[in-house]
Structure 1
């Protein structure tokens, strides 16, 4: 098989399965694993895929800036936000991560809800200006792409809070590689918040499924649930069903 044919097959398999195991495809093609690994290495260098231990994952497309993301799939995000808001109970301590989908959650919270909302995102805090809820805004170095605080000061503040529920924002969701995001330091902040929360939920728009970003946050099984659009096909969601994480339709 020619190199171009192998590469085309690798690309097609990644698009179909969302991952590729080097040994499996080498056995299937009757080739050495070194040959497939060389193909993956060269394709990764050309920006065609992401290499991981034992194989490859499709690349997550670069996200546009925060302002541009506010206009993407806005109706779906609004539905997810409204459904997630129903999970919040009075008197809870609620940690809301940054992101445009979580901004819809903040907007959907009842204005008379008596709870404590903690966030490290100034844009999330601003959405709650006219709410009765107490708002705690954590500081740190501003990561402008996601409009969230990061750094040692943020981690220190997070460690002083125990949240009943955490709404985590991620850029990719994969059944084997879990929930991930594009920035190393931001991923560490998200893990720190999850450690302090009794339950963690993700509001998941369709384009995030089957993808992997460079920095892992959590495994899917570590979630209390995924809030997903009701129109997503059952077969697309089946890899994410587990004994611990529930699928909540919006």
Structure 2
């Protein structure tokens, strides 16, 4: 099989991975009328290139790397600013909004409206600090056990306090989004607290930088249809966002 056909085959495998959320080597070999060994070799090479994750019998989408909070501050700052501005435009006077932890939600905090009053709840001390000098935002800081990687409170104390709130909008931060596997993050407890906030909120919007799309982190938070909307940059490739447009979440472009 020459290099061109090999590259075409790998492209088809990636298409299957996006569509189905997994690739089963035996089934792909049958579909392509090739040996299973050939497909397994393709999967090994693609895993070495960081395109997918090898699992028994096939492959799954690759999980994104999880740099710590300090390292994430400098990533995709212009894109995050655009997402933050679009998200902040959804806020209305008198609302209670809940801001998740993370560097993208920090951009939302910086761009929140200053011409009317509203309340921000958050379980992130860094997000609360962003609002120290905001002229019209009241701030409710949820406490609990600090998960330092994301600088958010988790655990039963945080859960109990969040249960008393009914946010109008929850701006959810995740590390990965996939049409099949949904919205996910890297920590079990953090995923649980995010899910709980979403259950308490009237609407949940998810700002997503492009590198998070088509990836899967270990702990699912919600299905894509479990969110009210996804916020992405307007110049994202049409082919990249197309699988998400068929789901029930609204796609908002920044």
Q: What is the TM-score normalised by the length of structure 1?
A: 0.85
Change (3 A) 1:125 1:13: same
Q: Secondary structure at the match of 2:168?
A: strand
* Distance across 2 between alignment mates of 1:28 and 1:11: 14
Q: Secondary structure at the match of 1:117?
A: strand
Q: How does 1:4-153 map to 2 (within 5 A)?
A: 13-14=13-14, 17-18=17-18, 19-22=21-24, 23-29=26-32, 49-50=52-53, 55-131=58-134, 132-153=136-157
Matched, 1:214 2:212: no
Change (3 A) 1:33 1:101: same
Deviation, 1:121, is 0.4
For the 8 Å contact 2:64–2:175, the answer to whether it is kept is no
1:140-189 Cα deviation digits (max 9, x unpaired): 11111111011111111111111111000000010000000011110011
* Distance across 2 between alignment mates of 1:11 and 1:184: 32
For the 8 Å contact 1:14–1:20, the answer to whether it is kept is no
* Distance across 2 between alignment mates of 1:30 and 1:77: 44
Change (3 A) 1:149 1:52: farther
- 2:233 aligned to which of 226, 229, 232: 229
1:77-109 Cα deviation digits (max 9, x unpaired): 001101110001011110110010000000000
Indicate the residue corresponding to 2:206 in structure 1.
202
Q: What is the TM-score normalised by the length of structure 2?
A: 0.84
Unpaired stretches in structure 1, ≥5 consecutive residues: none
